[in-house]
Amino acid sequence: MFCPTPELTSRAELTLTRRHLLMGFTSVVGASAAIAIPVEPLTRRGTPQLTTGPFYPLDRPFDQDWDLTRVPGRPGVAQGVIMDLHGKVTTEQGRPVPGAILDVWQTNGLGRYHHPSDTVGKPIDPNFQGSAVIRADVDGDYRIRTVVPLPYERRQRHIHFDVRGEKRLLVTQMFFPGEPNERDTLFPGLRNEVLQRAVTAELVGIDNGVKTFRWNIVLAGE
């Protein structure tokens, strides 16, 4: 249900071009560049906008489906703690956004992005997809299976999202509960608890070592 279509592949290519323009100098200076990027203007009712960061995927595997823990043709499973993430994309009024496109990327379970400018010295995991381009269903629901990302430098655990509805494009990041997010370079810029809760997932449960989180996304102005 969430496998990418040719339309999604084209979407990823268009987004990549836009990322080149947005990232500019940040794409060549590594993770520390994120420290200098200010938080973008926040919305009051929608999920807050947050910076793209310097590691938007430049080279994607052909497989961009909802399961980032396996790569076709390779027998292994991604290293790290497996997690399921699900949620709903809605408008401010609570209406689902059917067919919303979610572009997702993150570090692997070892703390490294699949990006040439990530030079932290952590290894690339050949069994980790690294990114995904999926579509929400008719009820606005989405799901991905991935690994819990590791913190790096002055960033806490987070997953990047680029979400497009019919009218609204949202670039943001999802944080994890129970983490020292106040030490993050971006999280404290969300200066009230309402905004901080809006970017923090909820831990639903743990089953056989797999953590399940829920995070709903609100597109303001959709």
Identify the active-site residue in 19, 115, 157, 158: 158
Residue 114 known to be catalytic:
no
Identify the active-site residue in 112, 145, 157, 160: 160
Identify the active-site residue in 112, 113, 135, 157: 113
Residue 142 known to be catalytic:
no
Residue 48 phi, psi dihedral angles, 5° rounding: -60, 145
Place of tokens 């690339």: 124
Residue 158 known to be catalytic:
yes
Residue 115 known to be catalytic:
no
Residue 113 known to be catalytic:
yes
Query: 174, exposed or middle or buried, with CB in 10 Å at 0-12, 13-18, 19+?
Result: buried
Residue 73 phi, psi dihedral angles, 5° rounding: 90, -5
Identify the active-site residue in 155, 157, 164, 168: 155
Q: What is the DSSP string of 159-208?
A: EEEEEE-SS-EEEEEEE-TTS-GGGSSSGGGS-SHHHHHHTB-EEEEEET
* Catalytic residue numbers, as ranges: 113, 152, 155, 158, 160
